[in-house]
């Protein structure tokens, strides 16, 4: 019964909690037992507050018994990414510089989940300052992929996706600048949404107008992600780019028909990325499901010229602003890839930033025109399969050298500056049993659409229901 509870969907568990078929305390204990048993091997949860979780779960049960109103996530255990500030709970950012940092208050995404009734149990592992798409750091070591010990869980939200895949939590959250919600979801056979910038407001944020990094939900099913988005989304007056739509609309049940949907399939993003042939082979077969569901599918890709320069410039600018000073002050305590990116940012000129913004504008206009012809774009989430945890990043793909720690994840970084919501869903498995992710991209602000399409694909294929053996 314990393992069964730990792998039920969050939407099903939410119903069981409301009907009092199970208690929040019972659900919590089931997950704590599983964490105790398997986390030493997976290394997904790096800070655990079992006692605090029990107090919160007991309070949740008492509130329901008293007939008090409860939130949409009532009683559901959740773990927060260790780059998201949690009041009264250690938040390290995966850095020795913050090994003992305990924030005074929750940041907005954490506070919204708590207000919706979620039970905080701890923090999930991240790369140092969330830099890179492989989860390891000097404080806690590497997170292992639940589907194959010794392989990467992806990153930077790798601890979160590994925790979901291993049954440690039914819901988790993360952030995504260059693929940090999408890449690890693909590696761990779960669902992760990079929302439209502003859909999930980030506060506090040192650069509140930036749209490159976003926060978003992750779960084992698309419906679970939609449920979580319904409480994470919504306006906040302190966040200048926050969208005004009420998040509650995302909780409405998702359809399963794709009749009439116009789909573009870009197996290598128009020749711009190198993809492991093992991934292409799996997805080429899986995409057939869209035709079976009534959609029309054509191989096509928007013109992504300039996207590399936009992403690279804006990322370097942000890294210099956020990590330049500490990189110069404590170079021996900040990993080389962060120092390199901050140094790139320090070399930027005003004309460099102006050119990036001009290219950014043209890119958005071309994406808008593309989505007048298609409803969604499909692409591989990752260019590589999960790789050994000892590697910092893949240095080649199908014999093609990768120049730096960002190049191997361009299937995500090219799409980050487009303003489009992008959903990674389980897209199948290699013959050797490794997960492959499919990326579903929609026009800006069409977050509901990509969730609907992802849900229909998920229900038709069942790839997400295949669990790891730990």
Would you please indicate which residues are annotated as catalytic (active-site) residues?
81, 156, 180
Bond preceding residue 156 cis, omega within 30 of 0: yes
Contact at 8 Å (CB) between 220 and 164? Answer: yes
Q: Match 């799409």 to its residue by tokens.
A: 415
Q: Bridge-partner residues for 47, per DSSP?
A: 123
How many angstroms separate the most distant Cα atoms in the chain?
63
Cα–Cα distance for residue pair 250/259, rounded to 1 Å: 21
For residue 106, the Cα-to-chain-centroid distance in whole angstroms is: 19
Please give the sequence-ordered ranges of beta strands (E in DSSP) within 290-343, or none if there are none.
Answer: 296-299
440: nearest Cα among 456, 451, 429, 448: 451
What tokens appear for 384 in the block? 């590589």
Q: What is the secondary structure of 358-388 as a DSSP string? A: HHHHHHHHHHHHHTTT-SEEEEES-SS---B
Taking alpha carbons only, the member of 208, 205, 249 closest to residue 229 is 249
């Amino acid at each position: 019964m314990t393992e069964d509870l730990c792998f039920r969907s969050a939407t099903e568990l939410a119903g069981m909690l409301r009907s009092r078929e199970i208690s929040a305390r019972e659900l919590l204990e089931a997950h704590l037992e599983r964490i105790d048993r398997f986390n030493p091997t997976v290394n997904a949860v790096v800070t655990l507050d079992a006692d605090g979780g029990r107090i919160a779960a007991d309070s949740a049960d008492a509130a329901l018994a008293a007939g008090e109103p409860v939130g949409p996530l009532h009683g559901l255990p959740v773990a927060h990414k260790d780059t998201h500030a949690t009041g009264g709970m250690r938040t390290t950012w995966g850095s020795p510089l913050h090994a003992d940092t305990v924030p005074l208050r929750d940041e907005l995404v954490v506070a919204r989940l708590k207000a919706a009734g979620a039970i905080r149990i701890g923090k999930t592992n991240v790369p140092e300052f969330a830099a890179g798409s492989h989860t390891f750091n000097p404080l806690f070591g590497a997170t292992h992929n639940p589907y194959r010990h010794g392989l990467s869980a992806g990153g930077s939200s790798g601890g979160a996706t590994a925790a979901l895949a291993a049954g440690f939590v039914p819901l988790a959250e993360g952030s995504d600048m260059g693929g940090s919600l999408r890449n690890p979801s693909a590696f761990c056979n779960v669902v992760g949404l990079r929302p439209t910038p502003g859909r999930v407001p980030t506060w506090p944020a040192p650069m509140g107008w930036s749209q490159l990094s976003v926060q978003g939900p992750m779960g084992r099913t698309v419906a679970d992600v939609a449920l979580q988005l319904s409480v994470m989304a919504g306006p906040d007056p302190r966040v200048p780019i926050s969208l005004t739509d009420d998040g509650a609309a995302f909780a409405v049940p998702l359809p399963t028909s794709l009749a009439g949907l116009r789909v573009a399939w870009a197996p290598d993003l128009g020749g711009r990325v190198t993809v492991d042939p093992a991934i292409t082979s799996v997805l080429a077969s899986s995409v057939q499901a869209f035709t079976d569901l009534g959609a029309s599918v054509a191989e096509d890709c928007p013109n992504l010229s300039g996207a590399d320069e936009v992403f690279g410039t804006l990322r370097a600018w942000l890294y210099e602003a956020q990590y330049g000073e500490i990189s110069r002050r404590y170079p021996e305590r900040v990993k080389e890839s962060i120092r390199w990116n901050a140094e790139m940012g320090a070399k930027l000129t005003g004309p460099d930033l102006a050119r990036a913004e001009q290219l950014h504008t043209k890119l958005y206009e071309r994406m808008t025109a593309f989505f007048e012809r298609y409803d969604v774009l499909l692409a591989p989430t990752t260019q590589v399969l999960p790789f050994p945890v000892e590697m910092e990043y893949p240095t080649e793909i199908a014999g093609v050298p990768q120049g730096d720690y960002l190049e191997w994840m361009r299937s995500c970084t090219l799409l980050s500056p487009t303003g489009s919501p992008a959903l990674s869903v389980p897209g199948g498995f290699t013959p050797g049993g490794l997960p492959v992710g499919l990326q579903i991209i929609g026009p800006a602000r069409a977050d509901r659409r990509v969730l609907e399409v992802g849900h229909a694909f998920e229900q038709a294929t069942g790839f997400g229901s295949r669990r790891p053996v730990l």
